[in-house]
Amino acid sequence: MGGNSGSWKLCHDSGLTSDRLKRSATETRAVGRSGPSGGLLVGARGSRGFRSAVGGSAVQSAVAAAVCFGAAFLGHGAAGCVAAPVERMSVHTEAPEVLLERMGCAGVITLNRPKVLNALSMNMIRQIYPQLKKWEQDPETFLIIIKGAGGKAFCAGGDIRVLSEAKRAKQSMTRVYFREEYTLNNAIASCQKPYVALIDGITIGGGVGVSIHGRFRVATESTLFAMPETGIGLFPDVGGGYFLPRLPGKLGYFLALTGFRLKGRDVHRAGIATHFVDSEKLPKLEEELLALKSPSAEDIAGVLESHQAQSKMDQDKSAIFEEHMDKINSCFSANSVEQIIENLRQDGSPFAIQQLKVINKMSPTSLKITLRQLMEGSSKTLPEVLTMEYRLSQACMEGHDFDEGVRAVLIDKDQSPKWNPASLKEVTNEDVNGYFKSLGSLDLKF
């Protein structure tokens, strides 16, 4: 049924044809269809330039509204619902967190917590996973669509405050949440039915995890992508160790270490999305997908490509990161965070100086484990990466920096975390090795 297994490939029409995108053949062709939960916009971009934005009113207002590790970035309308016969599968009758519906030829997942930017809860994960498996086996379901309600966000990640509270209370949720979330990520990647993620609006952390591993990812001008977990004492998980090092050149390393955010067509040009469609056209796109009769993956791709061809928005603009790809490739190709920082210092350009400012605000421990995560993940399968990331998640739950990051961003909101260790020099190889240590019988297995 045109499933999602196989290597994760960069879309060939991503627009990244500049000579400035120097990369090896494996880097160019190995981004796939097979993204903790939540995101802080740390390395934010200006209208056309690069700008550091650790904290700030946009982030703070979203945190207050969402109670999740997210960022406020208002998008245009949501994908919308298509008038069609509906089989409602949610067990709740009032404001269910997730809607699971059979519509036309498809199973449709709607993340339905718009007041908290569709933050991914344990309850949502536990409803989506079994239904995904049922639809995968259902001969009348030919594709699966996932979208977010409310018009602002696809999914701004997980509820970090809940995880932090569970950590302090030494509750098992910190083990169970990551285990079940990563299991869902892998199920999406291996799903034998075409999986279409309409990533309209904020798509951060856990929201990346329930979209990036599907066969089709549709971005709009309202899409905002980021994996900024190093700013709260975590690491870019949900398979970040798999897809980030497979982006063009060293772009994924740059995104992971700085938390830089991509918006709109740049999400497509980077290879994170497979298609780009105007936000206002999503209801029509969804309607056409649902109306297909026993569609193949090729039929679905044809509809997506047809809608993409109609979009002229920002078509002639180069990617925001493209002009800096030489610097990204040269500075972020080092095998240590210390050398990356030295490369940026030696470069001395305004771009490099801005990235230095951003990186210096991140958790030193998170920076080191993230770089190793991506380096090791570049040669691992997705299940192997998720097993590795589960080990990292549990080590982070035992460490200091996650609590401190939550305090600085969510509780006291002083945006001045006191990391421990406080410097890269103090984070030893032995410390880093401990994060990657096997959990034995508690390891995540597939």
Residue 368 to residue 360: CA distance in whole angstroms: 12
Both structure tokens of 125: 């994960």
206 is catalytic: yes
Residue 73 to residue 94: CA distance in whole angstroms: 27
Strand partners, 217: 197
Alpha-carbon distances, residue 6 vs 3, 26, 192, 215, 368 (angstroms):
9, 15, 11, 10, 29
> Of 27, 101, 159, 229, which one is the catalytic site residue?
229
> Of 39, 75, 206, 399, which one is the catalytic site residue?
206
377 is catalytic: no
Residue 170 to residue 174: CA distance in whole angstroms: 8
158 is catalytic: yes
> Of 32, 75, 158, 240, which one is the catalytic site residue?
158
Residue 18 to residue 39: CA distance in whole angstroms: 30
Nearest partner of 365 among 389, 388, 342, 396, judged by Cα:
396
Nearest partner of 376 among 340, 425, 335, judged by Cα:
335
Alpha-carbon distances, residue 276 vs 13, 123, 125, 364 (angstroms):
10, 31, 27, 36
Contact call for residues 270 and 35 (beta carbons, < 8 A): no
Contact call for residues 314 and 264 (beta carbons, < 8 A): yes
237 is catalytic: yes
> Of 221, 237, 286, 299, which one is the catalytic site residue?
237
Alpha-carbon distances, residue 212 vs 112, 287, 304 (angstroms):
19, 22, 16
Cα 47 to chain centroid distance, Å, stands at 22
Contact call for residues 27 and 271 (beta carbons, < 8 A): no
Both structure tokens of 255: 């995104």
Tell me how long the chain is.
446
What is the set of active-site residues?
158, 206, 229, 237
